[in-house]
Homo-oligomer: A and B are copies of this chain.
Amino acid sequence: MVELPMTVPPDAVLARGQGVSLWRQIATAIERDIAGSAGAMQPGARLPTEAALSARFGVNRHTVRRAMEELEARGLIRVEQGRGAFVAEDVLDYPLGPRTRFTEAIQRQNREPAGRMIRITEIAAEAQVAKALGLRRGRPVVLAERLGLANGRPVVIGSHYLPAQRFPLMLDLLSENPSITRALARSGVPDYRRRSTRITARMPTPEEATLLQQSRARPVLVTEAINVDAAGVPVELSIARYAAARMQLVVES
């Protein structure tokens, strides 16, 4: 990019010397762009660079930065060094209770939940899975991998392991309808609860980053939960990876 030495008129004209500081006018202009009734920007969308904005408004970069500071302090945008500024995404809460279901948790926050099945297969249980489900190694388990979305934005990848011998129809049921709760209900488990949850954080695999539509440089929250039936017998091992920027876990005591 070559810098043109000419003075170009700014696209947006500000009222100079009228009692309202330039940076305030810029802040409200950007705010209108973000939440404006006309074309509202999507949460997570990237704002123009500081250089672009200062050109557009015909001001120094510092003046734009002062406006950005204001918007960030008010929680409307998120600025990241080296990456840019982004329309703030609202962070959803995921309550870690014994009975929380993804769909309910999202609905309670007035978002539209959705699920997309990524893959359903039957595999042999490795050590970790077998131990969690109380099976012997190598026993068949159904593995269902599901992407959970809120308002169309991906927020979680869930890997669900269920004993194939106890639930012979599970693979078909989940192929029809991605709801684990529904498939378990049709398999004679009307209710189940979360027994224990381990929470860790790590960097995403390339596939996880793609599915969650997030940068490979941001971490995922990982929960590993064992779900048991009314009798306390494990029916599902669930490993979920949350986009940490869009979802936080909440424990009520």
Contact = CB atoms under 8 A, between A and B. Distances in A.
B221 A203 contact: no
A53 B73 CA distance: 52
Contact of A96 (B200, B202, B251): B251
A231 to B, nearest CB: 16
Contacts of A203: 217-219
Interface residues of A, number: 28
A146 interface: no
Contact of A253 (B91, B197, B202, B249): B197
A202 B251 contact: no
Given A98-B253, A253-B97, A253-B193, A221 B199 contact: yes
Interface of A: 91, 93, 96-98, 193-203, 217-221, 244, 248-253
A200 B96 CA distance: 13
Nearest to A194: B253
A13 to B, nearest CB: 34
A249 B196 contact: no
Given A193-B253, A253-B193, A248 B217 contact: no
A250 B201 contact: no
